Amino acid sequence: MGRRSKKKLSTPWPQTPERSAACQHFGVCGGCRLQHLDYASQLQFKHDTVSALFNTRLAEDGGQLLPILEAPDEWHYRNKLEFSFSDQAFLTTEQIASRQRFEGGALGFHAPRFFAKAVDIDECWLGPPIVNDLRNWLREYCQTRDLPFRNAHNHTGLMRNFLVRTTRAGQILIALVIAEDRAALIDEIFGAMRERFPEVSAWYWVLNNKKNDSIADLPFRHWGGEQVLRESLGEAQFVISPKAFFQTNTAQAERLYASARSALEQGLSETGSSGERLYDLYCGAGTIGLYLRGLWQRLIGVEYVEQAVLDAQANARLNGVPVYQSEKEAEQSADESAESGARRESAHFVAGDMEAILRGGLFAEQGAADAVIVDPPRAGMSAGVVEALIEQAPPVLVYISCKPSTQEHDMALLGPHYRLRTVQVVDMFPQTPHVESVALLVHRRFG
């Protein structure tokens, strides 16, 4: 059961240009590989890609592939961008042929197949324009000060990474990653930067003296401004800490979650389930489960990142949902609410290995699931997690995926037990081949 499917996408990659690429770095940085296609063609390609994966199963189960949901904005939709410093700028063929000297390093994206080099980005069309202004100012400032950029081969260089997060309300969070504990230098850089960009809301820096670039295990040091950003999806409010997972396309995330809500409503209707207990697996900061508020009374979220669980608890409280540590506490609160005639909601979040938690008695402790929603990483669910779901047999399963090919593999394992009712394709990432899909599965015991 644990072997990965060998099924690959059969949809041919569109090669013929239909329009001129907007970005000057197209074909070099490796990010927006579909810029040469009209947006309608991008949508058709993504629809066909997902259709090729699921059409057989949908036909067998009498399910439906819903029309793809296009993004409201083709450009400037990303709310989070990360850039890398490198003392080796990736040079195009034209730059090499010019015989000019390109010195000073680069601040941009790692070049495809050349991880030690970075494409020096002047203008990226994915984020809001302020991100370009911040990055270009920081690069020039560091070059003027002769601050050494990272060399990935010998693991030297002070300047490592630069992270920018934004909200629709205009809030900005930045985090600068350096290789040495130099608080005075951060004061100098951020002091100058704040004079130029007073609109930045939150300032952080990270000390990373490891060989790898991962900062998930490192503390973010607050330098000034707000501690968190705030964003809303539907009626739900959320705080976004520097490490928090949050869908990178905020406007389209609302449509993604609305699709999940529609799927869950359909599943509950078809099965006659009350939806009292909703399990939100790979819950991150609790955004999906809290967006689905009103369809559950008890939300149980599981996530392997401890900080994400802390964020989920904070988000639940922000939205007026009490957080409990045990089923007994939740039942006591529900009894009190029943006496007063009020509907009482509660949430419980737990951090740790997904399979170990599901096998360790979570369902016995928190109660049987009326519905489960999963949003795993690109690799999909492990075989053990799939097996645990099959054993628990919740009436409704809503599966959100950022990689439909692994979603298809997992649904092949679930297939003997669940019917695939609908698949909704959502274009979260215009100009790229990536796509999200929301699948509704209903247990076969309901017909």
Per-residue model confidence as pLDDT tens digits over 251-278: 999 999 999 999 999 999 999 998 899 9
Residue among 228, 244, 257 at smallest CA distance from 169: 228
Q: What does the radius of gyration of the chain's CA atoms come to, in whole angstroms?
A: 24
| CA–CA distances in Å: residue 40 to residues 21, 35, 55, 148, 152 | 15, 12, 21, 44, 40
Per-residue tokens: 51: 């259709």
- Give, in words, the CATH class of 39-74+245-446: alpha beta
Residue among 61, 185, 126, 87 at smallest CA distance from 444: 61
Tell me the C-alpha distance between 292 and 153, whole Å: 47
Instruction: Using the predicted structure, report yes or no on whether residue 342 has a pLDDT greater than 60.
Output: no
Instruction: Using the predicted structure, report yes or no on whether residue 343 has a pLDDT greater than 70.
Output: no
Dihedral angle, C-alpha 360, 215, 80, 125, nearest 10 °: -130
In the prediction, which pLDDT does 2 show?
A: 43
In the prediction, which pLDDT does 128 show?
A: 97
Residues whose CB falls within 8 Å of the CB of residue 198, separated by 6 or more in sequence, listed in order:
none
Tell me the C-alpha distance between 73 and 249, whole Å: 10
Residue among 442, 435, 428 at smallest CA distance from 50: 435
Instruction: Using the predicted structure, report yes or no on whether residue 192 has a pLDDT greater than 70.
Output: yes
In the prediction, which pLDDT does 347 show?
A: 97
Q: Per-domain residue ranges for the chain?
A: 39-74+245-446, 80-240
Per-residue model confidence as pLDDT tens digits over 1-52: 444 444 554 566 666 778 888 888 888 888 888 999 999 999 999 999 999 9
In the prediction, which pLDDT does 12 show?
A: 63
| CA–CA distances in Å: residue 79 to residues 132, 168, 174, 308, 403 | 13, 8, 12, 18, 20
The DSSP result for 363-414, as a single string, is HHHH---SEEEE---TT---HHHHHHHHHH--SEEEEEES-HHHHHHHHHHH
The proportion of the chain whose per-residue pLDDT surpasses 90, expressed as a percent, equals 80
Q: Mean pLDDT throughout 226-230?
A: 96
Q: Mean pLDDT score of the chain, rounded to an integer?
A: 91
Per-residue model confidence as pLDDT tens digits over 380-391: 999 999 999 999
Tell me the C-alpha distance between 121 and 138, whole Å: 12
In 24-148, the DSSP E strands lie at: 64-69, 80-86, 106-111, 114-120
Q: Select the more confidently predicted residue: 374 or 23.
A: 374
Per-residue model confidence as pLDDT tens digits over 170-179: 999 999 999 9
Say which CATH topology domain 80-240 has: OB fold (Dihydrolipoamide Acetyltransferase, E2P) (2.40.50)
Tell me the three state secondary structure of residue 447: coil
Output the pTM of the full model. Answer: 0.91
Q: Mean pLDDT throughout 138-147?
A: 97
Instruction: Find the catalytic residue in 29, 32, 124, 402.
Output: 402
Catalytic residue status for 29: no
